[in-house]
Amino acid sequence: MELFFLCGLILFTLFVSVSLSYLVFQKTNNKSSSMITANTNNLPPGNMGLPYIGESLQFLNTGRKGHPEKFIFDRVSKYSSNVFKTSILFEPTVVVCGATANKFLFSNENKLVQSWWPDSVNKIFPSSTQTSSKEESIKMRKMLPNFLKPEALMRYIGMMDSIAQQHFQSGWENKEQVTVFPLAKRYTFWVACKVFLSIQDPKHVAKFADPFNDVASGIISIPINLPGTSFNKGIKASNQIRKELLSIIEQRKIDLANKLTHDNQDILSHMLVATDDNGQHMTDLDIADKILGLLIGGHDTASAAITFIVKYLSELPHIYNLVLKEQMEIAKSKKPGELLNWEDIQKMKYSWSVACEVMRLAPPLQGAFREAINDFVLSGFSIPKGWKLYWSTHSTHRNPECFPEPEKFDPTRFEGTGPVPYTFVPFGGGPRMCPGKEYARLEILVFMHNVIKRFNWEKLLADEKIIVDPMPIPAKGLPVRLIPHKA
């Protein structure tokens, strides 16, 4: 948000201070011009916006005003096309909409397209500059499945429940009102620290939890490193977190050498002993950056989903009562002190349908970028090699052709066979579907069980604004008044 208070300064720097910006303009314009020249007669309709900036400000600003879908739908309507061109984050970009486009992109991963992240990612994760953010992502996808597949996650359920109980005892119980979003982030970050780093001490967790907000905002921002910008804050916050992670890594190496822990204890230990095809170990900085990325992905999206679950349940008492009924039946089946297990999670079918409907209306992941690795044709339009493609969850989630009455909250959409493939995509799809999908499901359901068996609640701000930066969050964090259940 601070970035837009500096728009005047940025535009002045870019367009008036020619002596400072000329070389950058030349490099970017030459790059864009060469890309636009290719197949120019058959590019999708659209507008490339201002030099250098393109339509980046409009793209980011609609999200920060709480309506990220507006950027997409306004242009689909204007150009009468589900495929249009623009320039976002300094890159000529084709925005693709709809289930057919989703299927095309997800099915052609590493054939016609590959993952792409803005330059801001490489600045915030410096180890990726030694290879590339794409190569680092591939490495992580090879490493994660053994830790995040359902059979491995079963052993985390009791741990998640134990952390949730401690979390509610310290942050919710005996309080008349709470602010949900920061508490949700505290819970999900605590769980992530335990799963990835075997850290459970609340004081240790809190030591480096706060800067993560700035890192997440900095990743998807205009990469201008001026004081006060989201990008500048993201770099500073990542350096602060990385320093703490390097200290943890050093201690873990000592513990492994002295056989005080084992290599399968958590993902950190596995990274420390793993080698590449040439028998080389990852550097400490490389490991720190990978753990940093996991901690962001492992708690930010889930905390946003949890916050909106609480929001929608407060607004829809009939939905709340059905979730309460399901969760209390599970609670009553447990012995005193017995933690949740895999069988309990499988009984939470309606609760998960509610969570899915929340993620349809308020998806934590707004969309993602790809890069064309070859020239190809999509929907009759030429996509030049090197161009970026952006797909948006909202292009299907709020599309009446995919979900009738899209603004209506209806968990029954997810019963039976559920939505048509490639329409519900909060976790992406295809080879790059989020590997932490099942982890997130467990984390969210454990939270739902613990909050709903303790409380009902009422929102304190009836019309709280929603902002997207880069995930949707209530502007004031969703303050609620707690109503404990009577014994």
Helix or strand or coil: residue 263?
coil
Residue 473 is classified by DSSP as E
CA distances from 225 to 119, 121, 476 (A): 12, 13, 27
Binding-site residues, please?
434
- What's the token pair of residue 146? 């053994």
Tokens 């579907």 sit on residue: 433
**Cα–Cα distance measured from residue 126 to residue 93, given in angstroms and rounded to the nearest whole number:** 25
Residue 292 is classified by DSSP as H
Q: Are 316 and 486 in contact (CB under 8 A)?
A: no
Which conformational region is residue 428 in: left (phi greater than 0), alpha (psi within -120 to 50 degrees), or beta? Answer: left
Q: Which of 422, 198, 210, 185 is nearest to 306 (CA)?
A: 185
**Cα–Cα distance measured from residue 267 to residue 251, given in angstroms and rounded to the nearest whole number:** 15
CA distances from 35 to 88, 118, 281, 385 (A): 14, 17, 39, 8
Q: Which amino acid is at 433?
A: M
**Cα–Cα distance measured from residue 117 to residue 121, given in angstroms and rounded to the nearest whole number:** 6
Binding-site residues for heme, please?
434
Backbone angles phi, psi at 116, to 5 degrees: -140, 140
Q: What angle do CA 79, 84, 90 make, to 5 degrees?
A: 130
Backbone angles phi, psi at 449, to 5 degrees: -60, -45
Residue spans of alpha helices (H) in 362-478: 394-397, 437-452
Residue 109 is classified by DSSP as B
**Cα–Cα distance measured from residue 310 to residue 303, given in angstroms and rounded to the nearest whole number:** 11
Tokens 């930010």 sit on residue: 300
**Cα–Cα distance measured from residue 308 to residue 294, given in angstroms and rounded to the nearest whole number:** 22
Q: Are 98 and 41 in contact (CB under 8 A)?
A: no
- What's the token pair of residue 45? 């309709």
Q: Which residues contact 345 (CB under 8 A, 6 or more apart)?
A: 157, 441, 442, 445, 446
Q: Exposure pattern of 379-394 as b/e (b: 16+ CB <10 Å)?
A: bebbbbebbbbbbbbb
